[in-house]
Amino acid sequence: MRHNAMKARLARGGWTAGPILPIAAPALVEVVALAGFDHVLIDAEHGHISVADCEGLVRAAEASGITPIVRVPVNAPEAILRYLDTGAQGVLVPQISSREDAERAVRAARYHPLGQRGLAGTRASDYGLRGSLQDYVREANEQLLVLGLIEDIRAVENLPAILAVEGLDIISIGPADLSQSMGQPGDVQHPEVQAAIAEIIRQGVAAGKVVGMNCPTAEAVARARARGVRLTSVAIFGLLAQGARAYLAG
């Protein structure tokens, strides 16, 4: 498996930023890499990204020198397996609300001894044509990032148990779904929602996990980083709209 520059950056205590891409547009992957982002989040949950689409986007990321992460549609072994077999270097798994959810995600994403991911000569393993599968398993377990999406109030209640799961590298906050689970759909600035977000960040940082969240503006990024967040994401369409408005404003 290829070197995961994003994982190495985080291991050095750095910050990583990437756009959320919900469409199959390899040229956009190249553009965001040239703009300076160090990863791209391929969104197969809310976006229209098939496994075949994902493979093309992963190729573009590899050629551009940024880390491809895929958000899978469900926390299911068959979905995680197929998207990771494209060569994605990380997987963001939605709806991690309990220790069992986190363990299920890790088992599906990692190979023995932490997981039970299906092993074959796929693109991720260079089709079994370069080196041994034993070497690939070792490298894949070392290079892969497993991210859990914390987006339900139940996850906040179960956070200590979730954070204790070995093999889960990052927790990422989903503020919109979190607000809905708290009876405040879409109101991510509601005091109770903000308090829950603050608690997720506090516990994640204290446990030594990387914490990520969606930050739509540079100001939001600065605030998040000051609180200990080290992974920030932004919707690519939001970035486009911001740039367009600034341009039209003269």
Q: Give the catalytic positions in this structure.
A: 46
Rounded Cα–Cα distance for residues 159 and 204 (Å): 8
CA distances from 5 to 38, 62, 91, 145, 194 (A): 8, 11, 15, 11, 31
Q: For residue 61, give the amino acid letter.
A: A
Token pair, residue 9, equals: 């950056």
Token pair, residue 146, equals: 């497993």
**Residues 80-92 as b or e (16 or more Cβ within 10 Å = b):** bbbbbbbbbbbbb
Contact between residue 232 and residue 224 where contact means Cβ atoms under 8 Å apart? yes
**DSSP-H helix ranges across the chain:** 5-11, 26-35, 51-64, 77-84, 99-109, 133-143, 153-157, 159-163, 175-181, 191-206, 218-226, 236-248
Rounded Cα–Cα distance for residues 154 and 101 (Å): 12
